[in-house]
């Protein structure tokens, strides 16, 4: 009887900030279907439904994590100062920015407030994270993973809604942060993977995060520049190459036990889908058409399977447990 009563509170203690990656994946798929509706004239019903699910997921996760902060503040602080787990907290501010993009043409004022809040919070996370990396002795090469992109390179998302809200120069500021530190962090992470211990199985899905910076960078750059120029082509094909690189390794990924890190598959796939839809708009060839539809189908399937698998993991007590 005692175990039954205490189990929900115990699970709450181990509720991870990585759950915000669920919102990133759901909202990424929402944006992919929104773009597909514009490009191919699809019904916007799917995108609207996904937006509602994404918003509800964000609200539920925020409420749950706020309850955890109230009941177990020490556990939150421990996670916030963890050299790897701390990178997932900015997924919250990224989620706000993504929902601001999704609501841009539905509720412009709401989108502006969400964008402003997400951008300000994310800048705070970026400054804090870089300060920790610079001054703390606790970080080692083994702590560097593609998840490190989230707090710093995540700034590259800001222009997508920022330009429409009239903050062009500010958008260039955040784009510059994201693109420059993408190159720096990618070098550090590749150094770790090439010359040091490989990523543990639990973190292997985070390799898909490598796709997101060039894909989102392409989308943001086209938004800022208004055209697909040579630099835009470099970003786009860098993303597509990484998609190919990881696709050929699917047999390895298929053998990984379920962790919340599986959600790292979702947003990068959505970002590459949107990037390909943007490329098709500017260069309407059959290649980009077929590729965009293929990626949209793959992303939809992956997010659906992840959603179902996560619900099953919750019911079977596979997550929110001590490591």
- pLDDT tens for 21-50 read 999 999 999 999 999 999 999 999 999 999
Say which range, 128-132, 163-167, 188-192, 253-257, has the weakest mean pLDDT: 253-257
Q: Is the dihedral of CA 59, 64, 65, 71 positive or negative?
A: positive
Question: 1 falls in which pLDDT band (50, 70, 90)?
Answer: very low
Say which range, 37-46, 80-89, 132-141, 232-241, has the weakest mean pLDDT: 132-141
Question: 130 falls in which pLDDT band (50, 70, 90)?
Answer: very high
**Closest-CA residue to 62 (of 30, 22, 29):** 22
**Closest-CA residue to 201 (of 120, 281, 150, 258):** 258
**Rounded (10°) angle between helices 20-40 and 266-282:** 20
Q: Provide the greatest CA pair distance for the chain.
A: 66
Q: Which segments of 196-263 does DSSP mark as H helices, in order? A: 212-225, 230-247, 250-254
Residue 202 is given by DSSP the state G
Residues 6+ apart with CB under 8 A from 58: 20, 23, 95, 96, 99
Percentage, residues of the chain above pLDDT 90: 76
Q: What angle do CA 24, 206, 123 make, to 5 degrees?
A: 50
Read off the pTM: 0.93
The answer to whether the CB of 43 falls within 8 A of the CB of 37 is: yes
Euclidean distance between CA atoms 105 and 93, whole angstroms: 20
Euclidean distance between CA atoms 46 and 80, whole angstroms: 35
Average pLDDT on 245-264 reads: 86
Architecture of domain 2-315: Alpha/alpha barrel (1.50)
Query: Tens of pLDDT along 267-304?
Result: 999 999 999 999 999 999 999 999 999 999 999 999 99
| Greatest mean pLDDT range, 71-80, 140-149, 188-197, 212-221 | 212-221
Domain spans in the chain, listed from the N-terminal domain onward = 2-315
The answer to whether the CB of 149 falls within 8 A of the CB of 182 is: yes
The answer to whether the CB of 171 falls within 8 A of the CB of 119 is: no
Residue reference for tokens 């796709």? 211
Residue 134, Cβ neighbours under 10 Å: how many? 8
Q: Which two tokens stand for residue 277?
A: 């839809």
């Amino acid at each position: 009887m005692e175990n039954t009563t205490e189990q929900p509170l115990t699970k709450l203690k181990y509720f991870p900030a990585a759950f915000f990656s669920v919102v990133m994946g759901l909202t990424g798929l929402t944006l992919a279907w929104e773009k597909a509706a514009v490009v191919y004239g699809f019904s916007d019903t799917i995108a609207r439904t996904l937006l509602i699910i994404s918003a509800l997921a964000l609200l539920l996760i925020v409420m749950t994590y706020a309850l955890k902060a109230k009941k177990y503040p020490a556990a939150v602080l421990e996670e916030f100062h963890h050299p790897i787990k701390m990178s997932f907290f900015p997924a919250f501010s990224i989620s706000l920015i993504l929902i601001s993009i999704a609501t841009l043409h539905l509720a412009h004022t709401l989108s502006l407030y969400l964008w402003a809040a997400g951008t300000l919070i994310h800048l705070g996370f970026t400054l804090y994270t870089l300060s920790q990396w610079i001054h703390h002795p606790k970080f080692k090469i083994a702590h560097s993973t593609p998840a490190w992109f989230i707090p710093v390179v995540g700034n590259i998302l800001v222009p997508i809604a920022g330009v429409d809200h009239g903050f062009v120069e500010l958008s260039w500021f955040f784009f510059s942060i994201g693109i420059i530190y993408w190159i720096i962090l990618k070098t550090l992470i590749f150094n770790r993977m090439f010359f040091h211990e490989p990523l543990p199985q639990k973190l292997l899905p985070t390799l898909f995060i490598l796709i997101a910076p060039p894909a989102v960078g392409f989308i943001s750059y086209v938004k800022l520049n208004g055209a697909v120029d040579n630099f835009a082509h470099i970003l786009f094909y860098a993303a597509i190459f990484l998609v190919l690189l990881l696709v050929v390794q699917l047999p390895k990924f298929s053998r990984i036990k379920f962790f919340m890190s599986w959600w790292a598959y979702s947003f990068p796939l959505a970002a590459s889908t949107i990037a390909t839809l943007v490329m098709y708009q500017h260069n309407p060839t059959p290649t980009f058409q077929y590729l965009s539809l293929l990626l949209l189908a793959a992303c939809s399937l992956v997010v659906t399977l992840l959603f179902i698998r996560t619900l099953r993991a919750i019911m079977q007590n596979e997550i929110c447990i001590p490591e």
